[in-house]
Amino acid sequence: MAYISVCKLCNSENVELRDSHIIPEFLFKNVYTSKHKFIPIEVDGIDGKVHQKGFRENLLCQGCETKLSLWERELSLFMHFLSGGKSNVFSLTTVGSNTVVEGINYDLAKKALISILWRMSISTLQFFADYDIGIYEERFRNWLHQDLPFDIQDFPILVSKGYISGIYQTGLLMPITQGSYGKHIKMESVVLDGVIFDFLLTDGNVIPIEVELFSLHPEGRVIIQNKEYSEYGIDLSSFSRRVKDKDVLDFFSKHD
Ligand SMILES: [Zn+2]
């Protein structure tokens, strides 16, 4: 049955809303929640794809869905490369303990990521209940709707690989909300497919020099750090034990 209402992005009235993804489907394989438990995910036996029915909501008209899918495509290429995929566009250099990735379409990737933060904030789903970016909801909506470019100063995004006790954990999807960068900058974070994205809610203000250096940059590069989840005050030791269990290893091997 068609769901007719107001599109949350373009504000068009009396339009058919799609069953929109809050998190694009390519970004989750294994779901692990802040409540430290697995959500059952459904595997379609025919195409082998993993479906999580809980991450959809009637949000967007078809026109806005199409617009988002263009941005998300760039993000999916980037994520694929990060997980070891081949690419003719991206390049990777190791500098100390960090990894520099170049060749990213900054405009598209940043809009995809900001749109995910925006969707998590406006979502009424319980999984995203802790996301509330307040006044930025409307600002992001307007920014994305008008397809305006983001400057480096506008909501820098830091990218890290998430580790538990020295081991990189692929495939995790997990909310980490309401942190801060230093004392003054509010930060929202999310783990998508094992990669931690920190969104700094600085709006055109001067940003710390290291943020400008490391964050997703208009020149098409980002410096990826390795971070332990314990840095976020999250105790994942029970999860760490669980991944060593045979049933959990089987679970991961089936879904990778
Ligand atoms: Zn729309």
Ligand 1 centroid, distance to 141 Cα (angstroms): 11
pLDDT given at position 156:
96
Q: What angle do CA 244, 245, 246 make, to 5 degrees?
A: 115
pLDDT at 230 over 60: yes
- Give the count of beta carbons closer than 10 Å to the beta carbon of residue 234: 17
Integer Cα distance of 117 and 68 in angstroms: 13
Instruction: Find out whether 82 and 75 touch, Cβ atoms under 8 Å.
Output: no
Ligand 1 centroid, distance to 31 Cα (angstroms): 28
Integer Cα distance of 145 and 190 in angstroms: 22
Q: Which of the four pLDDT bands, split at 50, 70 and 90, describes residue 5? A: very high
- Percent over 90 (pLDDT), the chain: 54
Q: In the block, which residue shows the tokens 């809009």?
A: 111
pLDDT given at position 46:
44
Ligand 1 centroid, distance to 56 Cα (angstroms): 16
Ligand 1 centroid, distance to 42 Cα (angstroms): 29
Q: Which residue has the higher pLDDT, 202 or 31?
A: 202
Ligand 1 centroid, distance to 217 Cα (angstroms): 28
Q: Which of the four pLDDT bands, split at 50, 70 and 90, describes residue 235? A: low
Integer Cα distance of 27 and 192 in angstroms: 6
Across 28-133, the runs of DSSP E, i.e. the strands, are: 42-43, 50-51, 56-58, 91-95, 98-102
Ligand 1 centroid, distance to 22 Cα (angstroms): 15
User: What mean pLDDT is predicted for residues 107-126?
Assistant: 96
Ligand 1 centroid, distance to 159 Cα (angstroms): 29
Q: What tokens does 52 get? A: 């999580």
Report DSSP state, residue 55. G
Report DSSP state, residue 139. H
pLDDT given at position 152:
92
The one-letter code for the residue type at 124 is: T
Number of domains in the chain: 1
Integer Cα distance of 247 and 253 in angstroms: 10
Q: Which of the four pLDDT bands, split at 50, 70 and 90, describes residue 31? A: low
Q: Which of the four pLDDT bands, split at 50, 70 and 90, describes residue 171? A: confident
Q: In the block, which residue shows the tokens 């069953």?
A: 19
Highest average pLDDT, of 53-57, 140-144, 187-191, comes from 140-144
Residue 55: which domain range? 4-255
pLDDT given at position 53:
53
Q: What is the mean pLDDT of the chain?
A: 84
Question: Cα 201 to the chain's mean position, in Å?
Answer: 15
User: What mean pLDDT is predicted for residues 181-185?
Assistant: 84
- In the three-class reduction of DSSP (H, G, I as helix; E, B as strand; rest coil), residue 96 is classed as coil
pLDDT given at position 172:
81
- Give the count of beta carbons closer than 10 Å to the beta carbon of residue 56: 17
User: What mean pLDDT is predicted for residues 118-145?
Assistant: 93
Half-sphere exposure of 27 (CA within 13 A, CB side): 22
Integer Cα distance of 201 and 216 in angstroms: 14
pLDDT at 243 over 90: no
pLDDT given at position 83:
87
Q: What tokens does 18 get? A: 């799609």
Name, in order, each residue with C-beta under 8 angstroms of 107's C-beta and a sequence gap of 6 or more: 149, 150
| Lowest mean per-residue pLDDT among 146-150, 168-172, 200-204, 235-239 | 235-239
| Lowest mean per-residue pLDDT among 3-12, 49-58, 237-246 | 237-246
Full-model pTM: 0.86
Ligand 1 centroid, distance to 200 Cα (angstroms): 26
Instruction: Find out whether 3 and 9 touch, Cβ atoms under 8 Å.
Output: no
Q: 72, 75, 33: which is closest to 173 by C-alpha?
A: 33
Ligand 1 centroid, distance to 119 Cα (angstroms): 13
- Per residue in 38-93, pLDDT (tens digit) is 444 444 434 444 444 558 899 999 999 999 999 999 999 999 999 888 899 999 99
What's the chain's Rg over C-alpha atoms?
18
